[in-house]
Amino acid sequence: MSGSTRTPSSVAMRRIQSELNEWLLHPPEGCRLESFEPLLRWVVLMEGPETAPAPGMPRLYDGEVFRLAINFTDRYPLEAPEVMFIPRSPVHPHIYSNGHICLDILYDSANGGWSPALTINKVCLSLRSMLASNTELRRPVGDREYCARMHGRSPKETRWDFDDDTV
């Protein structure tokens, strides 16, 4: 009877707003928010890291800027956000040309590693270090077939296999 106003979506909106405030105070290194309107869809500009994976190795993404699309659902943060690069995506053994990213923390399925304690800020830092530690400019195996099969679908629909820890 009390007519409480707290719906699941207002939980999500409050949390996203808090993350946005936090981001504006302390943005992750090398990242900028291009847009956060509507609040459920962010676009992040990510500069290629200027550090090399090891002394003497080439800096693969130095000077490049990538765009990252982040879509939240009403169930955020209990449900992982959808995170993908807007093509042209960085050439990387774990990033498909359609922008889908093979990184466990981005997915909440049985083998996924999403936790509601993660934030977009931390996700961006992870992605950037994934780029920084890469040593070879190549696409994942089966890139073309995957992109053809997934055409227009969300990376959250993919059954990911995260056992490849070589990169």
Partner 1 sequence: MPDTASRDRAAAEQLKNEGNVLFSKGKYGAALERYTEAITMSPGWPVPWLNRALCHKKRGDWQKVMDDCHKALLLDSHSLKANYFLGQAHKEQGEHERAIALFLKALEYGREEEDATKDAIWRELAFSKYTLWQEQSKQRTAEHAVLKDRLRGLLLKEHAFKPPGSLHRRATRLCCMQGDGMVRGQSSLDEAAQKELAALDQLFAEVEAKRKPVELGSPYVCPLTMECFREPAVTPSGLSYERSSLREHLKKVGQFDPVTRKPMRESDMYSNHSLRSATRQYLDDNPWAWGDIC
Q: Which residues bind partner 1 (CB under 8 A)?
A: 1-2, 4-6, 11, 14-15, 18-19, 22, 25, 75, 77-78, 108, 114-117, 119
Tokens of 137: 């400019």
Q: How far is the CB of 115 from partner 1 (least distance, A)?
A: 5
With respect to partner 1, which residue has the nearer C-beta, 8 or 87? 8
Q: Which residue, chain included where needed, has tokens 């309107």?
A: 37
Helix ranges (DSSP H) in the chain: 8-25, 120-132, 143-149
Supply the minimum distance, in Å, between the C-beta of residue 146 and partner 1: 27
> 89 or 119, CB closer to partner 1?
119
Residue 6 CB, shortest distance to partner 1, in Å, is 5
Verify whether residue 124 is a known catalytic residue: no
54 or 110: CB nearest partner 1:
110
Catalytic residue (one of 31, 102, 124, 147): 102
Supply the residues annotated as catalytic. 102
